Amino acid sequence: MTLAATAAHLATGPATGAAAGPHGFLSPTGVEIAFLLVGLVTFGAALVTVTTRQLVHAALWLVVTLGGLAVEYLLLTAEFIAWVQVLIYVGSVVVLLLFGLMLTRAPIGRSPDADSGNRWAALTVAVAAAAALVWVVVDAFRTTWIDLDGPAAGSTEATGASLFQNWVLPFEALSVLLLAALVGAIVLSRKAKADTATPAGQDTGRDTEGAR
Amino acid sequence: MHLAYPAVLSALLFCTGLYGVLARRNAILVLMSVELMLNAVNLNLVAFDVWLSRTAEETLHSGQALTLFTIAIAAAEIGIGLAIVLAVHRNRGTADIDKLRDTSERHDPDGTDHDARTAEQSDEAQKAEATA
């Protein structure tokens, strides 16, 4: 009697738990299935990025990861962020990384010393952090539901209006930061060869700085 | 959509980047892993912004604005970081962060020697720049 009662309670327990929110995990919507599949591809590409021994392949798998994240932004109706992600990350950051790999004369084939000796410690830390974070996040947001119907929350109009109504001062400060980063990168890459550069080279460097 | 899906994905991506930062030896691969961690944070910001803009009726869109700022700062960071890596590669001939041990606790003689030499070089470079 009591055993049957506990069995019935156990059987109805998860159902009532899922029914606390109107949506359960066992009947995913189409958006959720698409998010899950793209998320698996993104996570797999990220794993290959941090584990492959071919340096150029790591950069190319990073493209897959960032593109998958752009698709996730689109599925979350944040279309402006998605296109910014494609433009800046896939368009410029990965190209910069590839330039960096080639300028530091990275080996094309397999490089056996791509991973350092503390790989197992790093794996332990990462797995422990992942377990803790996933546990906490799932426990906290198990029943939280994002309503994706209606007008898009991240359309260009909404993002632009909020950015230029409420976030103008940080936006302008960010432009100053970008300028500082630009000048800093120029100075850093110019100073290293200052001892061998001719005065003409220094002058042209200064001219480009003035032009910017 | 459940908020748990993007939150779990961003946690997993963050930990993947964490593993990459700790385990990789090439400085540019470390920078790639840092990009992975920043992207995980961006996904979190966007997901929570979409959720809050519906449930809490907040129109500030702080999550998406902060995502844009993070993307811009990441672009600046990758520019500066690559410039530093290239400068180190030009001075030392390697981008291997396990070999850049000049400030470590253990003193090996050629490391300190190399350090002194590069400090001298940078002094000379500064003097040359000051006189130019």
Q: Which of B32, B64, B74 is facing A49, going by the closest CB pair?
A: B32
Taking CA atoms, what residue in B is nearest to A125?
A: B19
The amino acid at residue A194 is A
Query: Are B18 and B82 in a shared domain?
Result: yes
Q: How many structural domains are present in chain B?
A: 2
Percent pLDDT > 90 in chain B is 52
Query: Are B27 and B66 in a shared domain?
Result: yes
Chain A CB contacts of B58 below 8 Å: none
B16 close to A (CB below 8 A): yes
Joined together, the tokens standing for residue A122 give 């790093």
Predicted pLDDT at A206 = 40
Chain A CB contacts of B36 below 8 Å: 46, 49-50, 62, 65
Q: Are A98 and B81 in contact (CB under 8 A)?
A: no
Could you give the C-alpha distances from B40 to A68, A207, B10, in angstroms and in order? 12, 40, 4
Mean pLDDT on A176-201 = 74
Query: Are B106 and B57 in a shared domain?
Result: no
Residue ranges per domain, chain A?
Answer: 22-111, 167-212
Q: Are A134 and B11 in contact (CB under 8 A)?
A: yes
Predicted pLDDT at B59 = 74
The overall average pLDDT reported for chain A is: 81
Predicted pLDDT at A105 = 79
Contact B25 A115 (CB under 8 A): yes
Taking CA atoms, what residue in A is nearest to B89?
A: A104
Query: Are B29 and B85 in a shared domain?
Result: yes
Mutate to test the interface with A, among B44, B46, B84 (most CBs of A within 10 A): B46
* CATH of the domain spanning A22-111: 1.20.120.1200
Query: Are B37 and B59 in a shared domain?
Result: yes
B41 close to A (CB below 8 A): no
Query: Are B73 and B88 in a shared domain?
Result: yes
Min Cα distance A168 → chain B (Å) is 10
Contact B61 A137 (CB under 8 A): no
Predicted pLDDT at B100 = 83
According to the per-residue pLDDT averaged within each range, which of A12-26, A53-67, A101-115, B97-111 is highest? A53-67
Q: Which of B14, B32, B125 is facing A62, going by the closest CB pair?
A: B32
Q: Which of B64, B69, B121 is facing A195, going by the closest CB pair?
A: B121
Q: Are A55 and A115 in contact (CB under 8 A)?
A: no
Cα–Cα distance for residue pair B97/B83, rounded to 1 Å = 15
Interface of B with A in 73-102 (CB under 8 A): 73-80, 82-87, 89-91, 95-96, 98
Query: Are B35 and B82 in a shared domain?
Result: yes
Cα–Cα distance for residue pair A185/B91, rounded to 1 Å = 16
Min Cα distance A173 → chain B (Å) is 10
Query: Are B31 and B45 in a shared domain?
Result: yes
Residue where the block lists tokens 């080996």: A107
Contact A145 B2 (CB under 8 A): yes
Percent pLDDT > 90 in chain A is 49
Q: What pTM does this model have? A: 0.78
Predicted pLDDT at A34 = 94
Could you give the ipTM of this predicted complex? 0.78
User: With bands split at pLDDT 50, 70 and 90, how would you rate the model's confidence at B109?
Assistant: low
Min Cα distance B109 → chain A (Å) is 23
Domain holding B107, by residue range, is 102-132
Q: What is the CATH number of the domain that holds B77?
A: 1.10.287.3510
Query: Are B74 and B125 in a shared domain?
Result: no
Residue where the block lists tokens 């698409």: A34
* Bridge partners for B26 per DSSP: B96
pLDDT in tens, A34-84: 999 999 999 999 999 999 988 899 999 999 999 999 999 999 999 999 999
Query: Are B13 and B67 in a shared domain?
Result: yes
Contact A202 B132 (CB under 8 A): yes
Min Cα distance A1 → chain B (Å) is 37
B26 SS3 class:
strand
User: With bands split at pLDDT 50, 70 and 90, how would you rate the model's confidence at B17?
Assistant: very high
Query: Are B95 and B106 in a shared domain?
Result: no
In angstroms, how far is the first alpha carbon of chain B from the final one? 63
Query: Are B129 and B89 in a shared domain?
Result: no
Chain A CB contacts of B59 below 8 Å: 162
